[in-house]
């Protein structure tokens, strides 16, 4: 959906130079003896769309609320550019925030909602209507201007919340699972709109979600979190294709984990390995490694062939663009294999015996003992 | 590192102020009472003398047994009336449903001893009905003593059971009962095995309120109890009697009654904690449409019960217009009683409204702030505040009155005899209603709305007044209306605290009844009844039925 062109008086276009970088240094948040956020450090660049991704309870929302000022920072520091904000009260931080349930003031009209922050920031009264209208126009909700939000749809409330957050021209924009309460279709539309809006305003944005697909599609960079720790930081492509540990590999997308034993070799790039005790191949590792390891293979990286791991198809699911097979290997392990319908339209019958193979240079390999990433 | 603290946090200050006020006006008076209860008449220093004589002498301990006896009986009878009424009112298309509902609330809100007083006017030794029946040769026996107290408590307090339980019953998801039916349960079996157990927590809450109100009530047993003495009356006698007043003993009696009601409340908390169900009522139960005689038979019991329970107020209203000559009622109607109170008793009227208005303003402001602290600023202080604010709930009015006198009749705080002490007693005793309903409402409110405001640059203090307070309003209102109505009708603490200058309507009704000046008493009571009805009416108009009273 294209954004409308702003008329005169639009004040939101600004260069990247105006937005701020956010530096998180060794921050800690404890509830009793439990560390919800455990010594996390991150550098978020000015104008970047940065996502905190993780399962519920991983500390992502806690960290976001520390930046917003709703949670105290028990240790470490958070900086906007060079300025530490640890002890600045929440209402003086100049941060825009979009809440999961939108948090629209129910007793105010849409206009009053959006004007609320401008009044608090002591914007001259004569400038307020222009700014509010521009924000409403940007979010394509000018027609709702004088209505009360109580009977509005989730999508409309979401737009009001966004308009209200950006109208104060915040240094940083925080979003706490803003799309989780929308239906599937609207979620994808709003995803694009938020991304385009962020590009256009060039505002540093920190986005929290547990939806990995959403994170991959919207972010410049992603930090994957687990149990108060950062598991990996990187661009969506790297997070998906080069997960640095089994957790990220399993959390982002679907992964089949196979056991494997690596043996001695002269060249780490050609380490002989025995997968699931049956399938021999050379894995391209980044260093010398001997012993038990784990191979992570995505379903779309698997293919049926005349050699490889032998098993039986136990379930076939037709999903439109691909067919998903559940294959039970001879040793009892169950894996998932995808075949794309643009390549084959034949659905293999349940009970067919197959060989599953994969290209060694695509898979990820981790040491079994400590999960250290071994693949190149 | 640069700190930008402008000063101590707003909520920190509120917390400190609230705690200080609690210590001064609640903990200090009540601990004074406890300490006093350990002082004897003969021995010097601390002694168990008072408690020993209480449990040794039947004259004393019988009052406790009497109190428990009437309270338990009244709770039982209130359940017998309230439960079926709740079921009928929520499940069937009772004719005139709204009228009965409002009238039931009215009878609950009636001035405390109006019931006793009217029943005396009707069926007392010299009552209208008694005389008419006597002419026909019918004797109804004495309504004084235990029977009278129980009947009046039941008729005044069954609405608590009805209101609590009907609230819960209309929240049961329909599918729950449907699945019971689907599994082959008959209607009665379904009610006994599904409906009743599910609303059990509400039944318990209703029963406990009835029990505690009955246990604490002073006016009714004082007027109609005669030889049947209950503990609050004994406390009053011991404290106020002109000859041989023993305020040490009165203090001990007070402590005993507080322990009793605390135990009951504790018992309820334990039971509810074990049987609390979270209901998400997607489909509330539908009203069954009855027709013809069936509808009549469903309506009749409701109509009868409610009519009898509002009878006292009608009697009082009618009586107030009857011509009187001193204690004797004449034939014909006049405004004489009203003229009489206007010339002689206008002070209590203005006092009542002045004190109650001041109290309600304080209650609303403090109640909202305290509710916020309890709900949003959890932790040890929040729990402590919750406990302290709710504590007056178990203190009978007369006990609070005595505690305040003991605490504030000597330096550095001399407040006895002032309007302030009456207002303080109102605030302490009636605040729980407002705090309870405000905090219940606040619990439903998403905290992110407040955070959104703070995030947009508005300080926490301003956010409270601009956003939170506005959104809490319906919850505050429904609590405040209850606080207000119970303030104007308050008797049991005022009767301990009043002086000539600070008399209220309730106190005057009591003194007028004691002086056998029934006409003026009825006129004063009518003023209270009409004020109460008017307050309820305005409340219902404003809230449009969206918030409930109890």
Task: Give me the phi and psi of B186, to 5 degrees please.
Answer: -75, 170
B118 touches chain A (CB under 8 A): no
CA distance B294 to A310: 75
The C-alpha atoms of residue A139 and residue A164 are separated, in whole angstroms, by: 10
More confident residue, B109 or B25: B25
Evaluate if residue B209 carries a pLDDT over 60: yes
Q: d(Cα B72, Cα B510) in Å, to the nearest integer?
A: 26
Q: Mean pLDDT for chain B?
A: 85
- Measure in Å the smallest separation between the Cα of A37 and chain B Cα atoms: 21
Residue B538 CB partners (closer than 8 Å, separation 6+): none
- Find chain A residues with C-beta within 8 A of B471's C-beta: 106-107
State percent of chain B over pLDDT 90: 29
Which residues from A are below 8 Å from B1, CB to CB?
84, 86-87
- What length does chain A have? 376
pLDDT in tens, A21-66: 999 999 999 988 899 999 999 999 999 999 999 999 899 999 999 9
Residue A1 scores a pLDDT above 50: no
C-alpha A173/C-alpha A165 separation (Å) is: 8
Helices (H), chain A: 60-68, 110-120, 128-138, 154-166, 184-201, 212-218, 236-241, 246-251
* Mean pLDDT, residues B494-498 taken together: 90
d(CA B359, CA B421): 11
Minimal Cβ distance to A120: which of B449, B457, B460: B457
Predicted local distance difference test score (pLDDT) of residue A2: 43
Specify the pTM. 0.81
- Assess B469–A contact: CB distance below 8 Å, yes or no: no
**CB of B517 within 8 A of CB of B509?**
no
Q: Does the CB of A116 have a partner CB in chain B at under 8 Å?
A: yes
- A105 closest CB neighbour out of B1, B4, B449: B449
Write out chain A residues lying below 8 Å of B5, CB-based.
87, 89
Across the interface, whether the CB atoms of A117 and B457 are under 8 A apart is answered yes
Residue A316: predicted pLDDT: 93
* Mean pLDDT in residue range B289-300: 88
Taking the mean position of all CA atoms in its chain, how far away is CA B372?
A: 23
Cβ neighbours of B454 in A, within 8 Å: 69-70, 90-91
Is the pLDDT reported for residue B174 higher than 80? no
β-strand partners of A207:
A51, A175
- Return the sign of the alpha-carbon dihedral for residues B533, B537, B540, B543: negative
Check: CB of residue B527 under 8 Å from CB of residue B505: yes
Q: Which run of H or of E encompasses A42? A: strand A34-44
pLDDT for the residue A80: 92
Residue A103 to residue B467, Cβ atoms within 8 A = no
- In this complex, is the C-beta atom of B449 within 8 Å of any C-beta atom belonging to chain A? yes
pLDDT for the residue B548: 56
Contacts of B349 (CB under 8 A, 6+ apart): B341, B505, B524, B527
List the single residue in B with minimal CA-CA distance to A172.
B455
For the residues B539-543, what does the mean pLDDT come to? Answer: 79
Residues of B in Cβ contact (< 8 Å) with A95: 455
The reply to whether B289 touches chain A by the CB within 8 Å rule is no
Cβ–Cβ gap B458/A84 under 8 Å: no
Separation of first and last alpha carbons in chain A: 40
Decide if B446 touches A, using CB distance below 8 A: yes
For residue B303, what pLDDT band results from cuts at 50, 70 and 90? Answer: very high
Q: What is the pLDDT of residues A317-369, one digit of tens each?
A: 999 999 999 999 998 999 999 999 888 888 999 999 999 999 888 899 999 88
pLDDT, tens digit (0-9, with 9 covering 90-100), for A277-320:
888 888 888 888 889 999 999 999 999 998 889 999 999 999 99
Residues of B in contact with A168 (CB under 8 A): 456-457
Beta bridge partners of B414: B409
Phi-psi category of residue A239: left, alpha or beta, with phi > 0 → left and psi -120 to 50 → alpha = alpha
pLDDT value at residue B376: 86
- Inform me whether the C-beta atom of residue A31 falls under 8 Å from chain B C-beta atoms: no
Strand partners, A232: A224
- Tokens representing residue B349 in the block: 């009227």
Give the chain B residue nearest A92 (alpha carbons): B457
Cα–Cα distance, A71 to A90 (Å, whole number): 9
What is the C-alpha to C-alpha distance for residues B26 and B400, in angstroms, rounded to an integer?
A: 9
Residue B138 burial (CB count, 10 A): 10
Nearest by Cα to B405 from B235, B181, B151, B216 = B235
Note the pLDDT tens digit of each residue in A68-118.
999 989 999 999 998 999 989 889 888 999 999 889 998 899 999 999 999
Per-residue pLDDT, averaged over B339-348, amounts to 86
Whether residues B455 and A107 touch (CB distance < 8 A) is answered with no
For chain A, give the mean pLDDT. 89
- Chain A contact probe: residue of B12, B379, B453, B455 with most A CBs at under 10 A: B455
B44 at interface of A, judged by CB pairs closer than 8 A = no
Distance from CA of A118 to the nearest CA of B (A): 8
Residue B5: strand, helix, or coil:
coil
Neighbours of B280 (CB within 10 A): 6
Torsion of CA B91, B94, B96, B100, to 10 degrees: -60
Residue A82: list chain B partners with CB under 8 A. none
pLDDT at B400 over 60: yes
**Is it the case that residue A15 has pLDDT exceeding 60?**
no
Q: How confident is the model at residue B230 (pLDDT cuts 50, 70, 90)?
A: very high
Give the up-direction half-sphere exposure of residue A169: CA atoms within 13 A in the CB hemisphere.
15
d(CA B331, CA B323): 6
- B-chain residues near A120 (CB < 8 A): 456-458
Report the pLDDT value the prediction gives residue B3, as an integer from 0 to 100: 39
Q: Among the residues of A78-127, which ranges form H helices?
A: 110-120
Q: Are strands A364-367 and B322-325 parallel, antiparallel or unpaired?
A: unpaired
Q: What is the reported pLDDT for A239?
A: 93
Q: Which is nearest to B370 in space by CA: B28, B7, B29, B25?
A: B25
DSSP-derived pairing of the beta strands A334-340 and A322-329: antiparallel
Tokens found for residue A68: 């917003």
B445 touches chain A (CB under 8 A): no
* C-alpha–C-alpha distance, residues A180 and A240, integer Å: 22
Contacts B4 to A, Cβ<8 Å: 87-89, 92
Whole-number Å distance between alpha carbons of A142 and A160: 10
A189 C-beta neighbours (distance < 10 Å), count: 13
Query: In chain A, which residues have their Cβ closer than 8 Å to the Cβ of B459?
Result: 89, 91
Quick check: B6 pLDDT over 50? Answer: no
* A164 in reach of chain B (CB within 8 A): yes
Which value, in Å, is the radius of gyration of the alpha carbons in chain A?
25
Helix (H, G, I), strand (E, B) or coil at B409: strand
Q: What is the pLDDT of residue B43?
A: 60
Please check the confidence at residue B540 and state whether its pLDDT lies above 50.
yes
Asked whether the beta carbons of A137 and A6 are under 8 A apart, the reply is yes
Q: Which of A86, A87, A95 sits opposite B455 (nearest CB)?
A: A95
pLDDT value for A328: 94
- Whole-number Å distance between alpha carbons of A120 and A160: 18
Grade residue B288 by pLDDT with cuts at 50, 70 and 90: confident
Closest by CA to B278, choosing from B443, B459, B450, B511, is B443
Residue A25 contacts B where some CB pair is shorter than 8 Å: no
pLDDT at residue B411 greater than cutoff 80: no
Residue A373 per-residue DSSP state: B
The pLDDT assigned to B175 comes to: 74
Give the pLDDT confidence score for residue B454 in this predicted structure. Answer: 92
Q: Is the pLDDT of residue B153 over 60?
A: yes
CA distance B168 to B278: 11
Best mutation target among A32, A66, A105, A106 (most B Cβ atoms within 10 Å) is A105
Determine contact, residues A164/A114, Cβ cutoff 8 Å.
Answer: yes
Non-local CB neighbours of B126 within 8 Å, separated by 6+ positions: none
Q: Mean pLDDT throughout A249-274?
A: 89
Interface test with A, best of B11, B448, B457 (most A CBs within 10 A): B457
């Amino acid at each position: 959906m294209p954004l409308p062109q702003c008329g005169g008086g639009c004040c939101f276009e600004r260069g990247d130079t105006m937005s701020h970088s956010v530096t998180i240094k060794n921050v800690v948040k404890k509830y009793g003896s439990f560390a919800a956020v455990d010594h996390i450090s991150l550098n978020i660049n000015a104008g970047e769309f940065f996502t905190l991704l993780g399962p519920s309870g991983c500390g992502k929302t806690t960290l976001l609320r520390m930046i917003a000022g709703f949670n105290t920072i028990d240790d470490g520091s958070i900086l906007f550019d060079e300025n530490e904000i640890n002890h600045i009260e929440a209402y003086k931080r100049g941060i825009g925030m979009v809440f999961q349930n939108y948090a629209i003031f129910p007793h105010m009209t849409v206009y009053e909602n959006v004007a609320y922050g401008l009044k608090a920031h002591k914007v001259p009264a004569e400038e307020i209507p222009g700014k509010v209208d521009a924000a409403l126009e940007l979010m394509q909700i000018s027609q709702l201007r004088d209505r009360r939000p109580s009977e509005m749809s989730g999508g409309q409330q979401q737009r009001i919340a966004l308009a209200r957050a950006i109208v104060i021209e915040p240094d940083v924009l925080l979003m706490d699972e803003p799309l989780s309460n929308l239906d599937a279709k609207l979620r994808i539309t709003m995803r694009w709109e938020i991304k385009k809006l962020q590009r256009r305003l060039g505002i540093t944005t920190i986005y929290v979600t547990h939806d990995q697909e959403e994170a991959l599609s919207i972010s410049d960079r992603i930090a994957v979190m687990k149990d108060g720790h950062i598991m990996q930081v990187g661009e969506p492509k790297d997070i998906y294709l080069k997960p640095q540990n089994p957790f990220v590999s399993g959390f982002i997308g679907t992964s089949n984990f196979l056991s494997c034993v690596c043996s001695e070799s002269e060249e780490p790039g050609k380490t002989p390995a025995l997968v699931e005790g049956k399938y021999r191949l050379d894995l391209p590792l980044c260093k010398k490694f001997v012993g038990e390891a784990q191979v992570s293979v995505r379903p779309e990286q698997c293919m049926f062939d005349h050699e490889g791991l032998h098993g039986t198809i136990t379930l076939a699911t037709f999903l439109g663009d691909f067919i998903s097979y559940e294959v039970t290997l001879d040793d009892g392990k169950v894996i998932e294999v995808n075949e794309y319908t643009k390549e084959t339209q034949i659905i293999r019958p349940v009970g067919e015996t197959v060989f599953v193979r994969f290209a060694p240079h695509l898979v990820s390999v981790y040491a079994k003992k400590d999960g250290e990433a071994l693949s190149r | 590192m640069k700190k930008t603290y402008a000063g101590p946090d707003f909520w920190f200050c509120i917390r400190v102020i609230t705690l200080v006020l609690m210590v001064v006006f609640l903990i200090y008076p009540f601990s004074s009472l406890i300490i006093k209860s350990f002082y004897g008449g003969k021995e010097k220093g601390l002694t168990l003398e008072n408690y020993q004589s209480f449990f040794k002498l039947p004259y004393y301990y019988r009052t406790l047994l009497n109190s428990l006896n009437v309270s338990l009986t009244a709770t039982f009878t209130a359940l017998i009336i309230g439960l079926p009424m709740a079921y009928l009112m929520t499940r069937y298309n009772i004719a005139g449903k709204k009228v009965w509902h409002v009238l039931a609330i009215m009878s609950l809100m009636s001035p405390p001893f109006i019931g006793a007083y009217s029943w005396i006017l009707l069926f007392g030794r010299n009552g209208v009905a008694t005389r008419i029946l006597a002419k026909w040769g019918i004797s109804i026996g004495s309504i004084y003593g235990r029977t009278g107290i129980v009947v009046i408590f039941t008729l005044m307090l069954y609405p608590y059971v009805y209101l609590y339980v009907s609230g819960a019953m209309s929240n049961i998801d329909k599918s729950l009962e449907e699945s019971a039916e689907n599994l082959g349960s008959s209607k009665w079996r379904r009610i006994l095995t599904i409906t009743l157990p599910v609303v059990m927590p509400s039944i318990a809450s209703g029963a406990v309120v009835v029990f505690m109100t009955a246990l604490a009530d002073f006016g009714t047993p004082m007027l109609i109890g005669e030889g049947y003495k209950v503990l609050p009356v004994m406390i009053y006698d011991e404290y106020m009697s002109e000859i041989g007043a023993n305020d040490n003993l009165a203090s001990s009696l007070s402590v005993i009654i507080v322990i009793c009601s605390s135990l009951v409340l504790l018992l309820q908390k334990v039971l509810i904690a074990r049987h609390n169900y979270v209901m998400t009522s997607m489909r509330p139960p539908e009203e069954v449409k009855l027709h013809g005689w069936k509808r009549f038979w469903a309506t009749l019991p409701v109509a009868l019960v409610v009519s009898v329970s509002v009878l006292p107020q009608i009697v009082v209203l009618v009586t107030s217009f009857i011509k009187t000559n001193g204690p004797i009622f004449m034939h014909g109607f006049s405004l004489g009683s009203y003229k009489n109170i206007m010339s002689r008793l206008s002070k209590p009227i203005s006092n009542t409204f002045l004190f109650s208005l001041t109290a309600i303003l304080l209650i609303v402001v403090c109640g909202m702030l305290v509710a916020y602290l309890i709900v949003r600023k959890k932790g040890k202080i929040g729990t402590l505040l919750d406990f302290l604010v709710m504590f007056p709930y178990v203190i009978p009015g007369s006990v609070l009155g005595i505690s305040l006198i003991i605490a504030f009749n000597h330096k550095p705080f001399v407040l006895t005899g002032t309007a302030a002490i009456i207002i303080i007693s109102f605030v302490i005793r009636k605040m729980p209603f407002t705090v309870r309903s405000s905090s219940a409402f606040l619990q439903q409110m998403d905290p992110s709305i407040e955070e959104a405001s703070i995030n947009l640059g508005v300080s926490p203090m301003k956010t409270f007044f601009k956003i939170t307070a506005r959104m809490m309003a319906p919850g505050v209102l429904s609590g405040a209306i209850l606080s207000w109505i119970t303030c104007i009708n308050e008797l049991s603490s005022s009767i301990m605290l009043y002086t000539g200058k600070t008399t209220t309507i309730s106190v005057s009704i009591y003194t007028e009844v004691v002086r056998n000046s029934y006409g003026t008493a009825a006129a004063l009571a009518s003023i209270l009844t009409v004020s109460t009805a008017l307050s309820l009416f305005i409340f219902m108009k404003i809230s449009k039925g969206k918030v409930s009273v109890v």
